[in-house]
Amino acid sequence: MRRRSRPLWWRLGFAILSLLVALGILVTSWNTTVNSHPAYLVTLLVVAVAATVAVASSFFVRRGAQEQDGQPRSLRRRILAGVEILGVLALLGFLLYTRPLAASSVAIDSMAGTAEVSVTDSATRIELQPTGEARTTGLIFYPGAKVDPRAYVPNLTPLAAAGYPVVVLKLPYNIAFFSPKGAHRVMDDHRQITRWAVGGHSLGGVVASMVAGGDDPRVRGLLLWASYPNSSIADRTQLQVTSISGSNDALATPAKIDAAKSKLPPDTRYVVIHGGIHSFFGDYGLQSGDGTPSITRDEAQAQIRAASLDLLRRVEDASP
């Protein structure tokens, strides 16, 4: 006699787990998620809907006759079940890993702009435009991994106030590697700007280095915040490059910055924020694994802004 059909309890358990993870991230990171690139929000919503459907349908799906008769599953079905479990775990792990680091209240307030700078927020970028006369040199900025892009607006607003348009990219899942062509789309949309510097924080600087190492003649400068290239661009001697780092940074450590110097042009300017840490380059609190600062965030950021502004002026003044 066959046993009555009953739910696949392991599948039901994973569906419930997926629903809890998706809803938990949405509830605890709603403001950050909806103000970042839509890819993460869409993925969370799809997972939540799919998990809800799976929970509801699991009570109505009949298992195969062999399983109902108490016979073991075939090898093929066991393999497929294993693949399904690993796929769900990988997806949930990715969603938890890419949960964004929220911008501070100071950064969120800076989105209102100033008398000198207007801020335009869209699905894929934040644009800081001078309200007065804008220069024909601009900056495209890649945020660090998992960081809310709004966290960089306070540090970049003074650059726009000086007349340099700034575009902060919103990245899919807040990972710069998922949008390597983002800078080129910005340049195509702003043809009135003839010279660009590309920059980024941490992983964002790595991708900015890839853009700067390309052959686009519009890219004339590279701004690295606690970052370094993963391949050599030392032959790009026409680039104006500034590397800004923190002496107490435990992520992009001074040793890593020094080890990568051979990958940058020989006339690169290096600015060390003595006592500064990785988290001071944006306004998103303190990042896990970072070092201990010996200066204040305001003191560090004043130096970061000054060195960044110097880079843009060099790009503007460089020979054609």
Identify which of 123, 174, 184, 179 has the alpha carbon closest to the alpha carbon of residue 152: 174
pLDDT tens for each residue of 261-270: 999 999 999 9
Asked whether the beta carbons of 301 and 153 are under 8 A apart, the reply is no
What is the spatial distance between Cα 223 and Cα 309, in angstroms, rounded to a whole number? 10
Per the DSSP assignment, residues forming a β-bridge with 245 are 272
Predicted pLDDT of residue 8: 65
Burial 259-287 (b: 16+ CB within 10 A, else e): ebeebbbeebeebbbebbbbbbbbbbeeb
Predicted pLDDT of residue 73: 59
Identify which of 152, 262, 165 has the alpha carbon closest to the alpha carbon of residue 204: 152
Predicted pLDDT of residue 61: 59
Tokens 């358990």 belong to which residue? 13
- What type of residue sits at position 23? L
Predicted pLDDT of residue 66: 41
> Which tokens sit at 85?
């479990």
Task: Evaluate the CA torsion angle 60, 63, 64, 69 in order and state its sign.
Answer: negative
pLDDT tens for each residue of 25-57: 999 999 999 999 999 999 999 999 999 998 888
Task: Evaluate the CA torsion angle 106, 296, 125, 307 in order and state its sign.
Answer: positive
Query: What are residue 5's phi and psi, to 5 degrees?
Result: -65, 140
Predicted pLDDT of residue 72: 55
Q: Which residues contact 182 (CB under 8 A, 6 or more apart)?
A: 124, 125, 140, 142, 169, 171
Tokens 């207007």 belong to which residue? 118
Q: Where are the domains of the chain?
A: 9-97, 105-317
Q: Which CATH number fits domain 105-317: 3.40.50.970, 3.30.950.10, 3.40.50.1820, 3.30.390.50?
A: 3.40.50.1820
- What type of residue sits at position 250? A
Strand order in the sheet with 117-121: 117-121, 125-130, 166-169, 137-142, 195-201, 219-225, 240-246, 269-273
Mode of pairing for the β-strands spanning 137-142 and 166-169: parallel
Asked whether the beta carbons of 128 and 153 are under 8 A apart, the reply is yes
Predicted pLDDT of residue 68: 47
Asked whether the beta carbons of 242 and 227 are under 8 A apart, the reply is no
- Sites in the chain below the pLDDT cut of 70: 1-8, 59-73
Predicted pLDDT of residue 310: 98
User: For the chain, how many residues are written?
Assistant: 320
Tokens 């298992």 belong to which residue? 63
Predicted pLDDT of residue 37: 97
Predicted pLDDT of residue 57: 81
Asked whether the beta carbons of 126 and 168 are under 8 A apart, the reply is yes
- Three-state secondary structure call for residue 127: strand
